Amino acid sequence: MTGTLTAERRQVLQRRIRWIVAATIGYNVVEAVVAISAGAIASSGALIAFGLDSTIEVLSAAAVAWQFTRRDPERWEKPTLRVISVAFFALAAYVVATSVVSLATRIEAAHSTLGIVITALSVVVMPLLSYAERRAGRELGSKTAVADSMQTLICTYLSAAVLLGLLLNSWFGLWWADAVAGLVIAAFAVREGVEAWRGDTCATSVGMILEDEHEDAAD
């Protein structure tokens, strides 16, 4: 679709992606500080992992921000995709490690109101940022922006999993729930990492399926 874009429209889309990425970085920095602090207070491995995951999201977003400050962003498409891919793999490895440790040692976290609030907020904010960046990236024809939007969407799944684990632990005493959910999220992260490495960003994730169905209905 990039061939039909005017130079002015391309500049608008590139500027929009930079603003979205800046908002994503800013939110994730706050999210990381709050989640790690809440996790330390409640002895919650899931919350600490969630906060550290936010630093990986910042890495991904920063890579895209750097690309779109270059004179020729397309030239840096492949190396930036590789950085995002490695971030996916790092996310998966960390979630698997922390989940296995939690299950093996039967770590029981205390109730964390702050943790529940920040993860619930992320479930709302992250999909909005992901959708905005993916839409602009698709119109611009940027695989990097689309891949980064998928990283944000993965973090939405992780937010939902951690939130569910916190609620089940607080309400029903099911200490293992967030660890099991984390393993499911790790599988998504591995898949998206492989696709980003290959340069294939047309993933059939839940969010993209819903978007495609909406577009088909509109047509």
Q: What is the pLDDT of residues 91-127, one digit of tens each?
A: 889 888 888 888 888 877 788 999 999 999 999 999 9
- 13 has a pLDDT exceeding 60: yes
pLDDT in tens, 53-79: 787 767 766 776 677 777 776 777 777
- 206 has a pLDDT exceeding 60: no
Residue percentage of the chain with pLDDT more than 70:
85
Report pLDDT for 8: 87
Going from the C-alpha of 120 to that of each of 93, 96, 97, 101, 198, the distances in angstroms are 24, 22, 24, 25, 33
The domains of the chain, with CATH numbers, are 2-218 (1.20.1510.10)
pTM for this one?
Answer: 0.68
**197 contacts 82 by C-beta, under 8 angstroms:** yes
pLDDT band at 32 (very low <50, low <70, confident <90, very high): very high
Which of 54 and 171 is assigned the larger pLDDT?
A: 171
- 31 has a pLDDT exceeding 90: yes
Token representation of residue 135? 């839409």
pLDDT band at 209 (very low <50, low <70, confident <90, very high): very low
SS3 track for the chain: CHHHCCHHHHHHHHHHHHHHHHHHHHHHHHHHHHHHHHHHHHCCHHHHHHHHHHHHHHHHHHHHHHHCCCCCHHHHHHHHHHHHHHHHHHHHHHHHHHHHHHHHHCCCCCCCHHHHHHHHHHHHHHHHHHHHHHHHHHHHCCHHHHHHHHHHHHHHHHHHHHHHHHHHHHHHCCCCHHHHHHHHHHHHHHHHHHHHHHCCCCCCCHHHHHHHHHHHHHC
* Least confident segment among 26-30, 77-81, 199-203: 199-203
